[in-house]
A and B are shown apart, each in its own frame.
Chain A
Amino acid sequence: MTQWEIVVGLEVHAQLSTQTKIFSGASTAFGADPNTQACAVDLALPGVLPVLNRGAVERAIRLGLAIGAPINRRSVFARKNYFYPDLPKGYQISQMDEPIVQGGSLLISTASGEKLIRITRAHLEEDAGKSLHGEAPGLTGIDLNRAGVPLLEIVSEPDLRSAAEAVAYARTLHNLVMWLDICDGNMQEGSFRCDANVSVRPVGSTTLGTRCEIKNLNSFRFLERAIDYEARRQIELLEEGNRIRQETRLYDADKDETRTMRSKEDAFDYRYFPDPDLLPVVISDAWIARTEADMPELPWRLRARLVAQYGLSDYDAGILTSVRVMAEYFEQMVLASGGAAKQCANWMTGELLAALNRNELAFSANPISAGQLGLLILRVQDGTVSGKLGKTVFEALWQGEGSVDEIIAARGLRQVSDSGAISAMIAEVLAKFPAQVAEYRAGKEKMLGFLVGQVMKASQGKANPQQLNEMLIEQLGRPSHPD
């Protein structure tokens, strides 16, 4: 029986996080009343003209630099012609022959290790409006607020070999566009949408099979399921001796299947040609250099640095670089903690993430500042509070009870390191539990734990544990006579 290989290429539409549309000064804010953010240009009133938004170009350059792609010094906008009610001009302004970014690659982590996925191109284009069904019987409502919102379409080579790899690639790219601050990454609002080109071929074959394009995959889960379904469908067809028809398909999440998109059934003839209303976009070396200087440290470089500089595990470094604010938080926290990097990483990936998860908060909604959490680590490190009471301080910080030092003072959590005080408490406990003391002295060493617990209890948890341990052993070790 034939073994099949799945071949996937992704086209990702990342909505760029500009204030205004790509060719007009209308706002791109999400969720406004229908058509209140559709200006004359977005509505394609007679006589209006497009003017390109610098912010959109700037964001495309950032992506290009991040994926190591050449930035085309001259790129051209073209008209892609087709009639659709959410496309006011009857053409979409896009880039065809001369896109702004050509080439580049992205390293992804897969089950079998790291894999370099080649990127074909990334081009700027405008989004279409939205069709709303069911507003009135037999009619479709059109909201053009989204018309003209800038998109960066990022097209990969067909280098992905499974749904899981496709998801890994999409997640890496999703992380990257947010890292670069060029897209808010909000998939529910459609800010990051995937189309998947899926084909299958017998293992060992080097030619590509006929592909189907699956549109509109707005979550990683749907992406994975749609590719799995589509690959299965194609394999079944081929095994039954049928042929695959190249077509555009739509993923139906409710039925978990893909189906032919009827509106795309006609063979399209987009009649691309350079838009005469727009001139070639020229990007100077100086602009690229300026953008490069302004780029954040890229996530994979930062991850490697966290391992090298702080001695973190690659796993922890991976978690800390999954979101840019998290990585920045970590480094600020390390500074405040006096360089206790490993402890900081443990606290962040432990206490902090657990609390955020428990409260269903995004990292950016974290109520504790990096400076305060770092200071808490420092207070644990320098013995001001015990590790255990540190967690109490953390809870109080989370509740907004004040700064670390205020909480320690207000709650009286300062660790007792005064040897006189500890010695007195030890004497009290030894007097209270003579039998256990005798057992210990007779060689039953596990009694030590019990006695440590009792002293700690007497100190209300505040005794410096190391000091307590040492002093208790010392006092127990002395011969003891009841007289």
Chain B
Amino acid sequence: MSLNLQDVQRVAKLARIAVSDDEAQAYQQQINGIFALVTAMQAVDTEGVAPMAHAQDVHQRLREDLVTEYNRRTVFQALAPQAAEGLYFVPQVID
């Protein structure tokens, strides 16, 4: 399995990363190199093997429904590229 240039552009779009045509070609080559490595997986018979998502076979701990956080807006918004009057701002969103 190898990616063509359109695949690279489609993936870059999904990941919201601007990629020039030259960059796309470089990525295509490198990613295909990595996928060549990955194809070794395809031959393995995994019939009946349960996928392993976590290192430990434990289950989710639940938090009690109690308020533990307080308002830190001033501190948090000082980190923002664009914020004013309590809001974060982005270029206009069109529904």
Using a CB–CB distance below 8 Å, which chain A residues touch chain B? 18-20, 24-27, 33-41, 43, 45, 51-57, 74, 83-85, 131-133, 135-136, 138-144, 250, 261-263, 269, 271, 274, 276, 278-282
Contact = CB atoms under 8 A, between A and B. Distances in A.
Interface stretch (B1-9, B21-29, B32-40, B61-69): B61-69
Contacts of B71: 36-37
B67 A36 contact: no
B92 A140 contact: yes
Interface string B51-93: 0011000111111111111011100110000101111111111
Contacts of A19: 65-67
Contact of A51 (B63, B87, B92, B93): B63
B44 interface: no
B92 A139 contact: yes
- Between B65, B89, B91, the greatest number of chain A beta carbons within 10 A of the residue's beta carbon is seen for B65
A263 B62 CA distance: 35
Nearest to A17: B65
A20 B65 contact: yes
Contacts of B64: 54-55
Contact of B65 (A36, A37, A38, A55): A55
Contacts of A139: 82, 89-92
A136 B88 CA distance: 11
A269 B64 CA distance: 34
Q: 6 tightest CB-CB pairs across the interface, nearest first?
A: A25-B68, A55-B65, A141-B87, A39-B69, A54-B62, A282-B59
Contacts of A280: 59-60
Contacts of B16: 83
Nearest to A57: B62
Contacts of A40: 69, 72, 76
B95 interface: yes
B63 A52 contact: yes
A269 B89 contact: no
B63 A36 contact: no
A97 B37 CA distance: 30
Given A19-B65, A36-B73, A142-B90, 19 more contacts: A26-B69, A27-B69, A34-B86, A39-B69, A40-B72, A52-B63, A53-B65, A57-B62, A133-B92, A135-B89, A136-B89, A139-B92, A141-B87, A141-B88, A142-B87, A271-B14, A274-B53, A279-B60, A281-B62
Given A19-B65, A19-B66, A279 B88 contact: no
B18 interface: no
Given A26-B67, A132-B87, A263 B60 contact: no
Nearest to B72: A39
Nearest to B14: A269
Nearest to A76: B53
A141 B76 CA distance: 16
Interface SS majority for chain B: loop
Nearest to B56: A279
B73 to A, nearest CB: 5
B77 A35 contact: yes
A38 B93 contact: no
Contacts of A143: 86-87
B90 A140 contact: yes
Contact of A25 (B14, B62, B66, B89): B66
Nearest to A82: B14
Contacts of A133: 92-93
B91 A140 contact: yes
A85 B67 CA distance: 25
B59 A142 contact: no
B91 A24 contact: no
A132 B92 CA distance: 10
A140 B93 contact: yes
A143 B14 CA distance: 25
B54 A276 contact: yes
A85 B60 contact: no
A43 B82 CA distance: 15
Contacts of B92: 133, 138-140
Contact of A54 (B58, B63, B82): B63
Nearest to A55: B65
B41 interface: no
B43 interface: no
A18 B76 contact: no
B49 interface: no
Nearest to B86: A34
Given A36-B71, A261-B95, A135 B60 contact: no
20 contacts: A25-B67, A26-B69, A34-B85, A34-B86, A35-B87, A38-B73, A39-B69, A40-B76, A41-B69, A51-B62, A51-B63, A57-B62, A140-B90, A142-B87, A262-B95, A263-B94, A274-B53, A279-B54, A279-B58, A281-B60
